[in-house]
Amino acid sequence: MAHLDLWKQRLGVVPEAVWDRVDLETLVLADNGLTEISAKISNLRRLRMLDLGHNALVHLPEALGELENLTDFLYLHDNRLSALPRSIARLTRLRYLNISGNAFTTLPVEICELAHLVELRALDNQIASIPDAIGRLSRLRELHLRNNALTTLPETIGRLTELRQLDLRGNPLETLPATLAELPALDKLDLRWTPSFEPPAWLSTLEARGVLVYR
């Protein structure tokens, strides 16, 4: 596997030679003070893992959606993103996505097209709403939404039949949909640090069947 690790090299900009490495399957560009990514990233059609975390990115190129072999990991955490390119919806084979530590106020609806997504991390943003389309992520096993601005979740969360872990810590929750009680695979629900939340009666139903509910 062709791998290029440029972690913490103080690059500022990605060297042009990187975009010529069409053999690459993994590329780490984390912690380099990057403010933009060239559309030439579309040259890297064999990429399976891409790490752009800990930079200063405000937006990403639409060309990102052309990396259709990106199946393993996409790290976008700790940047300044408030939106994702529409083309990211084409990464339908991606299994892990991390958009934590950015400036999102809503979960980008494009993420809901990532049919093979197993783990989604969206911690430490300002997310106040989750689109109804979240119910399309039928393979999702872990959903991490700690430290956002959520007061509730959509009813469609009940369609995530593979969901095992749901982390809602540090949100100003007011209500939660009863459809959460119907999630057949759920084994951990974290509701700590949600002082405004009045636990509904159905939480005890989850606990009775062995779900770990932290509150």
**Residue 18 and residue 88 in one domain:** yes
pLDDT confidence of residue 196: 87
**Residue 118 and residue 213 in one domain:** yes
Query: Residues with Cβ < 8 Å from 195, sequence gap 6 or more?
Result: none
**Residue 118 and residue 211 in one domain:** yes
Domain count, the chain: 2
Burial label, 64 (beta-carbon count in 10 A; 0-12, 13-18, 19+): buried
Query: Residues with Cβ < 8 Å from 132, sequence gap 6 or more?
Result: 154, 155, 156
Q: Among residues 37, 63, 94, which one ends one of the domains?
A: 94
Overall residue count recorded for the chain in this entry? 215
Instruction: Name residue, tokens 């994702």.
Output: 84
d(C-alpha 67, C-alpha 27), whole Å: 12
**Residue 87 and residue 108 in one domain:** no
Angle CA 25–124–9, to nearest 5 = 40
**Residue 198 and residue 159 in one domain:** yes
Residue 175 token pair: 């209500």
d(C-alpha 7, C-alpha 19), whole Å: 16
pLDDT confidence of residue 177: 97
pLDDT confidence of residue 134: 98
**Residue 108 and residue 211 in one domain:** yes
Instruction: Name residue, tokens 């009813």.
Output: 155
Q: Among residues 71, 94, 117, which one ends one of the domains?
A: 94
**Residue 212 and residue 135 in one domain:** yes
Domain extent at residue 21:
1-94
- Please report the DSSP string for 125-174 in residue order: S---B--GGGGG-TT--EEE--SS--S---GGGGG-TT--EEE-TT----
**Residue 202 and residue 116 in one domain:** yes
The segments of the chain whose pLDDT lies below 50 read none
**Residue 118 and residue 130 in one domain:** yes
Q: Please, which residues bridge with residue 190 across strands?
A: 167, 214
Count of alpha carbons within 13 angstroms of residue 183, beta-carbon side: 33
Virtual torsion, Cα 43, 71, 88, 115, nearest 10 deg: 150
Q: In 3-state terms, what secondary structure has residue 188? A: strand
**Residue 56 and residue 112 in one domain:** no
d(C-alpha 18, C-alpha 44), whole Å: 9
Q: Among residues 51, 70, 94, which one ends one of the domains?
A: 94
pLDDT confidence of residue 1: 80
**Residue 142 and residue 62 in one domain:** no
**Residue 207 and residue 122 in one domain:** yes
- Amino acid identity, position 58: V
Question: Can you give the CATH number for the domain in which 58 is found?
Answer: 3.80.10.10
